[in-house]
Amino acid sequence: MPVEINSGNTAWVLAAAALVMFMTPGLAFFYAGFTRSKNVLGTIMQSFIVVALVGVQWVIIGYSLAFGPDKWGIIGNLDYFGLKHVGLTPGVWGAAHGIPEESFMIFQAMFAIITPALITGAFAERAKFSTFLVFMLAWSFLVYDPVAHWIFGTGWLGIANPNGINALDFAGGTAIHVNAGAAALAAAIMYGRRKGFGTEPMEPHNITYIVLGAAILWFGWFGFNAGSAGAANGQAANAIVVTNTAAAAAALAWVGTQWLLTGKASVIGAAAGCVAGLVAITPASGFVQPMEAIAIGGIAGVVCYGAVRLRAMTSLDDSLDVVGVHGVGGTWGAIATGIFASATVGGFDGLWHGHAGQVTDQLVAVGVVWAYSFTMTCAILKVLDLVMGLRVTEDEEELGLDVTQHGERGYVFDEAVGVPIAPASPPPPRAAEPAAGG
């Protein structure tokens, strides 16, 4: 007997999908504020175009690879190619909550979109746009889709596979943030440092953009985490409560630590801190209670701030600290899920409630994703560097990505004076001047 559509659950999942979609443009502003003004459009474009690029890839093949029937625990088959068999009624992934299969598909599409967009912060201000497009597409095929299958689908790491590792990841701490953080580390190494890194000031050009982007991310994250319940139910309500609580605790912890060490409580610190808390609570949001969320967020704020300061002491040019916030925050969040998970919320107990083995499962999943994503990202970028080249030229980098890659400027303060966006045409030849008195 076919499963009836639950209109309330369907409405919530569709609304959550819209919230998560809004996060990627929010990420664009968050990242763009950190860059120099000559690269603001290039940075925004990198996130914005991923919405289009992966939005098409996911419909054609990505969803099938991630959520199609399992092959060897590694990848989905092509049964859902072009969304074949993914219809307007509840199917394999929508039946539990009575939502159309297409609603589940579009919600997961927004995860597939924002994950590669997160990586762009690691190589901001120096990527050649043509190569960037190929990289995003290849990474989605070869890294995100398989990892999503392992964690969210019926692959070998997640709870949907009865013979799997049984790692808990409610909304993407491992599949999204650890995955993107490992790829960001590889990308920062492969792209190399920006021209003038460590010797020239590279101050964020628009802190208001950073706060705007962080606010949009915080808002959209309610859909990110609570939408992963797949229904308008108690688990979704708990996910919203712990998401807000962890973000708030992390913002306080980051600012407090920074204030203690530097004597200043920065606006950027508050924005970055809330994002660190959102990252850390993501895998745990359907499994932990509010008081545990304070611990998860508070520790994330301190640990991620420390990771960012540590990176600043090295020669690694992770431009916008994707590794420190998403890689480290996602790793802590995944481990914290194994520590604090409570069966009263999501059906699984962690170390705190007597099931120490869950921490082991979490560590295995984190280690596998770190290793796979880092290795595959390095391989993809090495091939692209040999074939297309990863970076713009030094002259183009000096002029900025906005002009050299997109032929536009983010800010025009004086319309009479500007940077030319195309070589000027030579003037027409002039007739010979007549001789004096001629």
Between CA 302 and CA 248 the distance in angstroms is: 13
**Residue 2: pLDDT band with limits 50, 70, 90:** confident
As given in the structure block, the two tokens for residue 74 are: 């590694």
Rounded mean pLDDT, 357-368 = 98
What pLDDT does 418 receive? 52
* Residues contacting residue 32 through CB under 8 Å, at least 6 positions apart: 39, 40, 41, 43, 44, 206, 209, 213
Cα→Cα distances 234→124, 150, 231, 285, Å: 40, 26, 9, 12
Q: What is the pLDDT of residues 213-270, one digit of tens each?
A: 999 999 999 999 999 999 999 999 999 999 999 999 999 999 999 999 999 999 999 9
Collapsing DSSP to helix, strand or coil, 94 comes out as coil
At 167, phi and psi to the nearest 5? -75, 140
Collapsing DSSP to helix, strand or coil, 324 comes out as helix
Top-level CATH class of 7-397? mainly alpha
Alpha-helical runs (H) found in 341-412: 343-346, 357-387, 394-399, 401-406
Q: What is the pLDDT of residues 376-416, one digit of tens each?
A: 999 999 999 999 999 999 999 999 999 999 999 999 876 65
What pLDDT does 413 receive? 78
Identify the burial level of 362 via C-beta atoms within 10 angstroms of its C-beta, where 0-12 means exposed, 13-18 middle and 19 or more buried: buried
Q: Do 232 and 29 contact (CB within 8 A), yes or no?
A: no
Instruction: Output DSSP code: residue 58.
Output: I
Between CA 231 and CA 243 the distance in angstroms is: 17
Q: What is the pLDDT of residues 315-343, one digit of tens each?
A: 999 999 999 999 999 999 999 999 999 99
Between CA 199 and CA 195 the distance in angstroms is: 9
What pLDDT does 431 receive? 45
Q: What is the dihedral of CA 131, 29, 103, 156, to 10 degrees?
A: 60
Between CA 175 and CA 183 the distance in angstroms is: 12
Closest CA to 380 of 390, 370, 371: 390
Cα→Cα distances 407→41, 231, 394, Å: 10, 45, 17
Q: What is the pLDDT of residues 424-435, one digit of tens each?
A: 455 555 444 444
